C-alpha cells in the first residue's frame, strides 16, 4: 500500500491517491467527512477552521460504496478558492502578483525552502509546507482506518499536555471508547481540571500573540501478534511509525511505551515480564504479559498488546507578535511575516496522528496477510487470530 498527496494550502484543491487496498471494503463519504471534521475542531484554531468545513470527494477506486481494488482518488476542494483564484492561478496573470511574502518566519519552511528552490516569493514555499496537507492525510488515513476496523483494530487519541499544562488522568478506558469521551472536549483531554487549564493557557498565549505546542497520546487496540519484523531495518513496525510521525508538520519527537523514560529506569522496571496464560491446556496462548512498558511493540513486531505512543508537537511558527526576521530582498532586520494562523493545533494533531498510524498499520496488515479482496483477507486474519489469540 502506498499513497501520495498534492495541493497548495490556498490552491483549488488537495488531491490524494491511495493504492494497494483490497477490493470490497465498504466506505462512505459520511464516514470520511466525519473524521475530517474531527481534525478541524479544537480550542486555539484560526479562523479558517471555523469558516470552512472540509469535505472530500471520491474520484476513483470506489463504486456503489465499495472499493474496487484500483487506486483510490480523493479530492478536497478549497472552499475559499474564489478569494485566491488570481493569487494562486496556474496560468500567467496580468498585473502585479498579490500577497507576495518576502519575510521568512523563523521555525517555518520559508527561508530554507526559498533558497533551495530559488523562490523570491516565499508564498511558493509556504503554500505547500503548510499543514493544510494533513487534511488529505486524514482523508487517506480514514480509508485505512476503515480497513483496520474490518480486521478488528481500533485507533484513538487524547491530548496529554499543552504548553506547561499536563493532564495526569490515567487512561483506563477501553481504546474503543476513548474518542467518544474526548472528541467533545475543546482540547481533547480526559481530565476536566487539566482541560480548563489548557484552555486558559491557550487564551493567555493568544492574548500576547504567542503560540503553544503539546504532546498527544495515540493508541491502537486489537493488533494481531507479529505485524512487522526484526529481520530487516526498514520492515520494523516502529521504524515505519517513526517515519510517519516525523513526516508530520511540527512533530519533533515520538516515543513508544515508556519511551525516553526507559533510559532512566533499571532493566527490572523497563521490560514486560511474562507469566503463564490463563488456560494453558485449552488455549494455544501460554503466556500473559504483566505490563505494557514496550507500548505493544518489541523488536519491530506487534506483541498483540495495545500500541501506545506519544508524539511532541512544537508551537506554531507564525506568531501574531512576530519573531525577529530578515527581509529576503533588502537584508534589513524586520518582523516575521504574519499569515492567518492557529494559536494551538495540538487537539487536531492528535486526530492527524490517528490517521498516520492507521496508514502504517493498514500497510503492515496487508503485508502480513495480503489478498486482493476483503473476502480473501478477512479469513486469513481470523485464522491467524485463532492460532495466536491474545
Ligand atoms: C494541525 C496543524 C496545524 C498547523 N497550523 C499552523 C499554522 O496555522 N501556522 C503555522 O505557522 N504553522 C502551523 N503548523 C505547523 C507548520 O506547518 C510547521 O511548523 C512548518 O511546516 C515547519 O515544519 P516543521 O515544524 O515540521 O519543521 C501546523 C501544524 C499542524 C500539525
Instruction: Report the nearest-CA residue for atom 19 of ligand 1.
Output: 250
Of 39, 123, 131, 216, the residue with max ligand 1 atoms within 8 A of its CB, to mutate for a pocket test, comes to: 131
SS3 state of residue 373: strand
372, containing H or E segment: none
**Average pLDDT rounded to a whole number, residues 129-154:** 98
Residues 6+ apart with CB under 8 A from 141: 35, 352, 354, 355, 356, 357, 358, 359
* Nearest atom of ligand 1 to the alpha carbon of 341: 8
Residue 334 has what DSSP assignment?
E
Q: How confident is the model at residue 281 (pLDDT cuts 50, 70, 90)?
A: low
pLDDT for 187 beyond 80: yes
293-307 pLDDT tens trace: 999 999 999 999 999
378-388 pLDDT, tens digit each: 999 999 998 88
Asked if residue 142 has pLDDT above 90, the reply is yes
Q: What is the largest CA-CA distance in the chain?
A: 81
pLDDT given for residue 51 in this prediction = 64
Backbone angles phi, psi at 72, to 5 degrees: -90, 125
pLDDT digits 0-9 by tens, 231-275 = 999 999 999 999 999 999 999 999 999 999 999 999 999 999 998
Strand, coil or helix: what is 19?
strand
Kindly list the structural domains of the chain, giving each domain's residue range(s) and its CATH number in brackets, ordered by start: 2-257+294-387 (3.60.150.10)
- Where does the pLDDT of residue 53 fall: very low under 50, low under 70, confident under 90, or very high at 90 and above? confident
> Which residue's C-alpha cell is 503554500?
127
Residue 276 is predicted with a pLDDT of 84
Q: How far is residue 189's CA from residue 44's CA, in Å, rounded to a whole number?
A: 14
Please state the separation of Cα 81 from the chain's center in Å. Answer: 25
Residue range 336-353: mean pLDDT, rounded: 93
Burial category of 55 from C-beta neighbours within 10 Å (exposed 0-12, middle 13-18, buried 19 and up): middle
Q: Which neighbouring-strand residues pair with 325?
A: 334
Supply the mean pLDDT for the chain: 95
Q: How many residues would you count in the chain?
A: 390
Give the confidence band of 48 by pLDDT, cuts at 50, 70, 90: low
Does the C-beta of 337 come closer than 6 Å to ligand 1?
Answer: no
- Alpha-carbon distance 62 to 375, whole Å? 16
Q: 168: closest CA among 199, 196, 189? A: 189
Predicted TM-score (pTM) above 0.85: yes
H/E element, 239: helix 237-246
Ligand 1 centre and the CA of 161: distance in Å? 18
Amino acid at each position: 500500500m502506498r499513497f501520495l498527496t498534492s495541493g497548495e494550502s490556498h490552491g483549488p484543491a488537495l488531491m490524494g491517491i491511495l493504492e494497494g487496498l483490497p477490493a470490497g471494503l465498504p466506505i462512505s463519504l459520511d464516514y470520511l467527512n466525519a473524521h475530517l471534521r474531527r481534525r478541524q475542531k479544537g480550542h486555539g484554531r484560526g479562523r479558517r477552521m471555523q469558516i470552512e468545513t472540509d469535505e472530500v470527494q471520491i474520484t476513483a477506486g470506489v463504486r456503489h460504496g465499495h472499493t474496487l481494488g484500483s487506486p483510490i482518488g480523493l479530492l478536497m476542494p478549497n472552499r475559499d478558492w474564489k478569494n485566491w483564484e488570481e493569487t494562486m492561478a496556474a496560468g500567467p496573470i496580468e498585473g502585479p502578483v498579490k500577497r507576495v511574502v518576502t519575510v521568512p518566519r523563523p521555525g517555518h519552511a520559508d527561508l530554507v525552502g526559498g533558497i533551495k528552490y530559488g523562490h523570491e516569493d516565499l508564498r511558493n514555499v509556504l503554500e505547500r509546507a503548510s499543514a493544510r496537507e494533513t487534511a488529505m492525510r486524514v482523508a487517506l488515513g480514514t480509508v485505512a482506518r476503515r480497513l483496520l476496523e474490518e480486521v478488528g483494530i481500533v485507533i484513538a487519541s487524547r491530548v496529554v499536555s499543552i504548553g506547561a499544562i499536563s493532564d495526569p488522568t490515567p487512561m483506563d478506558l477501553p481504546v474503543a471508547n476513548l474518542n467518544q469521551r474526548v472528541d467533545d472536549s475543546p482540547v481533547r483531554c480526559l481530565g476536566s481540571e487539566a482541560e480548563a487549564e489548557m484552555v486558559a493557557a491557550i487564551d493567555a498565549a493568544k492574548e500576547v500573540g504567542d503560540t503553544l505546542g503539546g504532546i498527544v497520546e495515540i493508541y491502537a487496540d486489537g493488533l494481531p501478534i507479529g505485524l512487522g519484523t526484526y529481520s530487516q531495518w526498514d520492515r520494523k513496525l516502529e521504524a515505519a511509525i517513526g517515519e510517519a510521525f516525523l513526516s508530520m508538520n511540527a512533530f519533533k519527537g515520538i516515543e513508544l511505551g515508556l519511551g525516553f523514560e526507559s533510559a532512566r529506569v533499571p532493566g527490572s522496571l523497563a521490560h514486560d515480564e511474562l507469566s503463564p496464560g490463563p488456560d494453558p491446556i485449552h488455549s494455544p496462548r501460554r503466556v500473559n504479559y504483566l505490563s505494557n512498558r514496550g507500548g505493544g511493540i518489541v523488536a519491530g513486531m506487534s506483541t498483540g498488546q495495545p500500541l501506545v505512543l506519544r508524539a511532541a508537537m512544537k508551537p506554531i511558527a507564525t506568531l501574531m507578535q512576530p519573531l525577529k526576521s530578515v527581509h529576503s530582498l533588502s537584508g534589513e532586520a524586520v518582523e516575521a511575516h504574519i499569515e492567518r494562523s492557529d494559536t494551538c493545533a495540538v487537539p487536531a494533531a492528535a486526530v492527524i496522528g490517528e490517521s498516520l498510524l492507521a496508514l502504517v498499520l493498514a500497510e503492515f496488515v496487508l503485508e502480513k496477510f495480503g489478498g486482493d479482496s476483503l473476502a480473501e483477507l478477512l479469513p486469513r486474519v481470523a485464522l491467524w487470530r485463532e492460532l495466536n489469540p491474545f
